[in-house]
Amino acid sequence: MISMIFDVPQKNASELVIHIWKIIDLPSISMDDLIYKISFEYFILSPEKAEEFISRSINNGILKKDKDNYISLSNILAQKLKKWQDGMRNDIINKINSSRKMDLAMKELEGGKRSDFSTLLKSFLDKGTINRAAAISDNAFQLSHIDYEKGLIKAKVAGAKEEFYNIEINTGLRKIAHNCHDFETNRAHNKKFCKHLAKFFLLLKEKNAKSIGNLLKEITLNINDWEFSS
């Protein structure tokens, strides 16, 4: 079950060894245990082919075997694995920190201590939109273009039915374009944000709080000149 986390590289021996060690997550392992895991836990190779693969990897310097018949990565692959692990660790820490910041931003919108940003953003939200925005994953958004000097932001957001919606904010044209059904039919004509736009502005705030704050002020002060459309 654990092996499903990774796509199994079949053509490159070094990549396959790294793939296996990402799952094993041990400095060394006995030959018999390694064969068992490759064959009966990860279902990558048959026992015979697993033993051949391990022996060939040892002969090619990809793996090392000590006097007690324990197998470990070569120094080069051990360094490569550590780099991957460090990257994963940093990625997890960044996601945790981002999640905490998002939680604080959501709490600001829901009540309690309010910043200028939360007050401005909340003016574009109907009741219930905040909770729906909180349920959208950060990974649902794909930011394709952002240029605050030229006043152009473009992104896509994954919908519930495996489709992507477009988001475009153009300060030069004073236009917010988005094509989800809720925005098109319920929000745009009242110049309100749907859950996608609410979450998108919160994500943008994490990248550049000053610029996105200024953008919200611009929209608020000149709301009659702004077009909300699909």
The tokens for 224 are 């009659």
Q: Look up residue 26 and give its amino acid.
A: L
Q: Which of 101, 94, 124, 111 is nearest to 202 (CA)?
A: 101
The tokens for 45 are 């190779």
For residues 227 and 230, give the distance between their C-alpha atoms in angstroms, rounded to a whole number: 10
For residues 32 and 106, give the distance between their C-alpha atoms in angstroms, rounded to a whole number: 52
Q: Which residues pair with 166 in a beta bridge?
A: 156
For residues 101 and 113, give the distance between their C-alpha atoms in angstroms, rounded to a whole number: 14
Question: In the predicted model, what is the mean pLDDT of residues 196-216?
Answer: 92
Average pLDDT, the chain: 87
> Tens digits of per-residue pLDDT, 149-179?
899 999 999 987 778 999 999 999 999 999 9
Instruction: Specify the pLDDT at position 112.
Output: 52
Instruction: Specify the pLDDT at position 104.
Output: 66
| pLDDT band (50, 70, 90) for residue 40 | very high
Give the CATH fold of the 2-73 domain: Arc Repressor Mutant, subunit A (1.10.10)
As to burial, measured by CB atoms within 10 angstroms (0-12 exposed, 13-18 middle, 19+ buried), residue 137 is: exposed
Q: Which residues pair with 157 in a beta bridge?
A: 141, 165
**Where are the domains positioned within the chain?**
2-73, 113-229
In angstroms, the Cα distances linking 45 to 10, 11, 54, 123, 156 are 10, 13, 11, 59, 40
> Tens digits of per-residue pLDDT, 47-97?
999 999 999 999 999 999 999 999 999 999 999 999 999 988 888 877 676
Residue 160 vs residue 217, higher pLDDT: 217
For residues 29 and 72, give the distance between their C-alpha atoms in angstroms, rounded to a whole number: 7
Instruction: Specify the pLDDT at position 41.
Output: 92
R_g (Cα) of the chain, nearest Å: 25
| 84 C-beta neighbours (distance < 10 Å), count | 13
Question: In the predicted model, what is the mean pLDDT of residues 118-144?
Answer: 87
